[in-house]
Chain A
Amino acid sequence: MNFRAIALGTALSLTLAAPFGAGVAQAEDSNYVPLLTYRTGAFAGSGIHIANGMNDYLKMLNERDGGIGGVKIAIEECETGYDSQKGIECYEATKGKGALVYNPYSTGITLQVIPKAAVDKIPVLSMGYGLSAAAVGNTFPWVYNVPVTYWDGASVIIKYIAEQEGGLDKLKGKKIGYIFLDAGFGREPIPLLEQLAKDYGFELVQYPVPAKEMQNQSSQWLNIRRDRPDYMVMWGWGAMNPTAVKEAVKTRFPMEKFIAAWWSAGEEDAGAGGEAAKGFKTLNFSGVGTDFKALGDIKKLVVDAGKSQTNPETFGGALYNRGVLNSVIIAEAIRTAQEKTGKKVLTGEDMRIGLEALNLTEARLQEIGLAGFAHPMKVTCEDHAGSHPVFIQEWDGKKWVKATDWIEPMKEQVRPLLEAAAKDYAEKNAPWPARTEACPN
């Protein structure tokens, strides 16, 4: 072996070893929050904004307040690429560092992490995604999908369509198309939609879009053109969204009758259709725009200070704000856990208490500089989602505007179905552990 080979080998070893030495060191006086994010791959278009929003809010708390309760937050991102296998690798690589909570940002990863949560005693926060049945707190004490489940969201869309038609009874005989990413995420609301179709007599026509065909949807939209549904509902993510909007415009589907879930609410999603996509609607549960005091603090202390990866042009966008709300829930759960346990540096078990006792009131939202940014939300031991109201936003050709007030989900229909689904999940995954954790409320 010559000198050159030795030098090259040494340099390579040092390069490969560097990330392990330079990782986030979890100090004993900090609360460690790993963020499972994706800034690369086919879904990066959506994932980057969420990752930025989550990161920036937590960084702002560190900069402005020195963390939460005087304890800094140690933030570490782990890149999943929206891939379940990589997501689990991230989970396993970070759980030993004292992780307080996991935000998988993928229904596929969430489904894999759920059985691990009770074993590792680290709660999972799947804010507005993941397994809808996890809302049943007594079956899933370690999983939180506040403020709303997919099933709640789907019920809001059906309720909104009924309002346009003049009442739920007017849905009879209507045809509602459902175009969705053919993955755990997109398939999740189908049981609820099928049940509502049965209850109200509308026909549900499904149009699955395989992940590898996200940017090649012409067949699905040809079918839609042939079937002529009265309304289209979409559960899309990543590159699927802008392609669907473009195809809808191309096939001349009436955009005002095209309503999507909150994960299609990005500016690039509707923007792909431009002016012609005017009228396209999505659900939303987080603030629109930058006119919030806390966002001003983020801008000043993190983005303008060069401590963020956020492109200033996308600051305050719909998905960025969604990421901010996710971190608001994390931060408020940490604060609640500190109050409930009397400890400053927390464990996953403490964090579970904080999440289960979370009560984000209007007054509290005002206090943290986010008045009107989200609907007040409360978690109970029985209900980890809370079925909180959401609103509908509409694309005006250039930007999103709020199109409705807060709309309550159809709780009476959704809750029994969630409970049945939770029971079914526990039976299929027997022996599913019975709840032993005390209720902190």
Chain B
Amino acid sequence: MLYDILVSPFVQMAEQPDFLIQVLWEGFVSGILYALIALGFVLIFKASGVFNFAQGIMVVFAGLTLVGLHEQGIPAFVALILTIGVMGVLAYGIERVVMRPLVNQPDIILLMATIGLTYFLIGFGEFVFGGEPKRMITEELWLPTGSTAFEFGERGLVVLQHIDIAAAVIAILMVSGLALFFNKTRIGRALRAVADDHQAALSVGISLNQIWAIVWFAAGIVALATGIMWGARSDVSFALEIVAFKALPVLILGGFTSVPGAIIGGLIIGFGEKLGEIYWGPLVGGGIESWLAYIIALIFLLFRPQGLFGERIIERV
């Protein structure tokens, strides 16, 4: 038994290095995709202290809007710009109708509001686009679709999907852009001020409404990128909403307020669950991936309750 747990998986890794590379690559891609979803959650949490339950459906909504507009005969890149516009309108609408009336309400009220928003977007999305899955317009957006295979020896093979490489590049660009935005721009700094204390931020002239609209818009763009990447791997359907909750262990691990935390957390979960499922999963009959991510996150929590990069909050009463 101990041999199976402690030795055998590493023997397998050494025996089939090409397969190990493939597993690591898949873990990397999954991690990047989880990180993209987690980013959307982090953005909203940073600005308003709200866990945005609607982030998953925003991914679906953005993807469906893009494909739906293209189905109406609108060229792909025009549809992309229009979708960004739609996410902007949605962000403004959320700020105006949902967030603004709830300023200074307890966090749980805001969480409930995002749950309501989720159900609204599910119903509205199904009403407008129907429930059928749609094919992502990957080629029309000039995203690569093929694969490159590296063959080693007699049976060694590593296959890299071009769309996965594109996902990694886009995620890295998006994270770098957001990091710059938060740290180097006036709006970014204002956003962090709002995250720290609503009333203090208001007292120095920061417009809470404007910041919230901007941050929901940024989360909408992240959702669009996520929808395109996940949609390209399968289809754009309402089933994608559930995938978004893969970000939960990433957030627990990386901290709810840290952009780098979302990335590092995503990668740890991505690598961890793939290596665990492939090399240790067979010991218990497989299928451990869905809960292994939470176990990894919980182990980290034992040592760092605030997450890897989360802020340590000490509240005295």
Contact residues of A with B, CB < 8 Å? 38-45, 47-48, 182, 206-208, 210-216, 218-219, 222-223, 225-226, 238-239, 242-243, 246, 250-252, 268, 271-272, 311
21 A–B contacts from the bound complex (CB under 8 Å): A40-B126, A42-B238, A44-B132, A44-B237, A45-B237, A48-B131, A207-B286, A208-B287, A210-B290, A211-B242, A212-B290, A215-B235, A215-B239, A216-B30, A219-B26, A225-B19, A238-B239, A239-B240, A268-B135, A272-B135, A272-B234
Q: Which residues of A contact B22 (CB under 8 A)?
A: 222, 225
B182 to chain A, nearest CB (A): 29
Inter-chain CA distance A47–B132, complex, in Å, is: 9
Say if the beta carbon of B305 comes within 8 Å of chain A. no
Chain B residues with CB under 8 A of A45:
131-133, 235, 237
Identify the stretch in B42-50, B167-175, B273-281 within 8 Å (CB) of chain A at 4 or more residues: B273-281
Contact A212 B132 (CB under 8 A): no
Given contacts A41-B131, A213-B289, A219-B281, 18 further A-B contacts (CB under 8 A): A40-B122, A44-B237, A45-B235, A48-B130, A182-B287, A206-B286, A207-B286, A210-B287, A214-B234, A215-B233, A215-B239, A216-B243, A219-B289, A222-B274, A223-B282, A239-B235, A250-B161, A268-B135
Q: Report B236-261 residues with CB < 8 Å from chain A CB.
A: 237-243, 245-246
Q: Which residues of B are found within 8 Å of A268, using beta-carbon distances?
A: 132-133, 135, 235
Residue B211 at the chain A interface, CB threshold 8 Å:
no
Q: Is the CB of A215 within 8 A of B130?
A: no
Is B234 a contact of A242 with CB atoms below 8 Å? Answer: yes
Q: Which residue of A lies closest to B292 (CB)?
A: A219
Alpha-carbon separation in the docked complex, A212 to B161 (Å)? 23
Closest to B232 in A: A246
Q: A223 contacts which of B147, B230, B237, B286 (Cβ < 8 Å)?
A: B286
Which has the most chain B C-beta neighbours within 10 Å: A40, A211, A272? A40
Contact partner of B133 among A211, A213, A225, A242, CB < 8 A?
Answer: A242
Partner of B242, one of A42, A47, A271: A42
Considering the chains assembled together, what is the distance between the CA atoms of A410 and B13 in angstroms?
41
Is B23 part of the contact surface with A, judged by Cβ < 8 Å?
A: yes
Within the assembled complex, what's the spacing in Å between the Cα atoms of A40 and B119?
Answer: 12
CA distance A271 to B134 in the complex (A): 11
User: Quick check: is B159 within 8 A (CB to CB) of the other chain?
Assistant: yes
Taking beta carbons and an 8 Å cutoff, which residues of B are in contact with A? 16, 19, 22-23, 26, 29-30, 122, 126, 130-133, 135, 147, 157, 159, 161, 230, 233-235, 237-243, 245-246, 273-274, 277-278, 281-282, 286-287, 289-290
State A43–B131 Cα separation when bound (angstroms): 9
Chain B contact residues: helix, strand, loop or mixed:
helix
**Contact of A243 with B234 in the complex, beta carbons under 8 Å:** yes
- Could you tell me if B237 and A48 are in contact, using CB atoms closer than 8 angstroms? no
List of B residues within 8 angstroms of A212 by Cβ = 242-243, 245, 290
Give 5 nearest A-B pairs by CB, closest first: A44-B131, A42-B239, A239-B239, A243-B234, A215-B234
Which B residues are CB-close (under 8 A) to A208? 286-287
Contacts of B130 in A (CB 8 A): 39, 48
| B144–chain A nearest beta-carbon distance, Å | 14
Instruction: Judge whether B234 and A246 touch: CB under 8 Å.
Output: yes
A214, B238: Cα distance in complex, Å: 11
> What's the least CB distance linking A226 to chain B, in Å?
6
Contact A215 B240 (CB under 8 A): yes
Known contacts A218-B26, A219-B273, A268-B133; A42/B289 CB under 8 A: no
Q: Which residues of B contact A182 (CB under 8 A)?
A: 287
What residues on A are CB-neighbors of B273 within 8 Å?
A: 219
Q: Which of A48, A214, A225, A226 contacts B239 (CB 8 A)?
A: A214
Please name all residues of chain B whose beta carbon is closer than 8 Å to the beta carbon of A271 when the two chains form the complex: 135
Complexed CA–CA distance, A216 and B131 (Å): 20
Which residues on A sit within 8 Å (CB–CB) of B277?
Answer: 219, 222-223
The listed residue (B23, B30, B234, B274) touching A239 by CB distance below 8 A is B234
Q: Is A243 a contact of B235 with CB atoms below 8 Å?
A: yes
Cβ-defined contact, A219 with B274, below 8 A: yes
Q: Report the bound CA distance from A39 to B273 in whole Å.
A: 33
Q: Report how far A5 CA is from B22 CA in the complex, Å.
A: 62
Cα-based distance from A45 to B281 in the complex (angstroms): 31
Bound state CA distance, A151 and B274, in angstroms? 33
Whether B26 and A222, one on each chain, are in contact in the complex, defined by CB atoms closer than 8 angstroms, is: yes
Residues of A with C-beta under 8 A to B243: 212-213, 215-216
Chain B residues closer than 8 Å to A272, beta-carbon distance: 135, 234-235
Chain B residues with CB below 8 A from A211, complex form: 242
> What's the least CB distance linking A311 to chain B, in Å?
8
A39–B287 CB distance below 8 A = no
Nearest A residue to B276 via CB reads A219
Cα A208 to Cα B282 in complex, Å, equals: 12
- In angstroms, Cα B52 to Cα A122, docked, is 45
Select B147's contact among A38, A42, A250, beta carbons within 8 Å.
Answer: A250
A80, B202: Cα distance in complex, Å: 47
Do residues A239 and B147 form an inter-chain contact, with CB atoms below 8 A?
A: no
Q: How far is the CA of A417 from the CA of B253 in the complex (A)?
A: 48
Q: Are B30 and A218 in contact (CB under 8 A)?
A: yes
Q: Which residues of A contact B246 (CB under 8 A)?
A: 216
Q: How far is the CB of B238 from chain A (nearest CB, A)?
A: 6
- In this complex, the member of B22, B133, B241 whose beta carbon has the largest number of chain A beta carbons within 10 angstroms is B133
- Bound CA–CA A42/B278 (angstroms): 27
Measured between alpha carbons, how far is A182 from B289 in the docked complex, in Å? 13
- Contact of B239 with A242 in the complex, beta carbons under 8 Å: no
Q: Distance (Å) between the CB of B257 and the closest chain A CB?
A: 26
Q: Given that A39-B131, A212-B245, A212-B290 are known contacts, is A242 also in contact with B238, CB under 8 Å in the complex?
A: no
> Distance in Å from the Cβ of B98 to the closest Cβ of chain A?
19
Bound together, the chains give a CA A218 to CA B30 distance in angstroms of: 9
A242-B235 contact, Cβ under 8 Å, with A208-B287, A219-B289: yes
Taken together as a complex, chains A and B put the C-alpha atoms of A216 and B56 apart, in Å, by 15
Contact B240 A252 (CB under 8 A): no
A62 to B67, CA, bound (A): 37
CB distance from A332 to the nearest CB of B (A): 29
Minimum Cβ distance to chain A for residue B258 (Å): 24
- Residue in A closest to B123 when the chains form the complex, CB atoms: A40
CA distance A92 to B145 in the complex (A): 48
The CB with the most chain B CB atoms within 10 A, among A41, A182, A208, A311, is that of A41
Q: Is the CB of B23 within 8 A of A222?
A: yes
Given contacts A208-B286, A212-B290, contact A226 B278 (CB under 8 A): yes
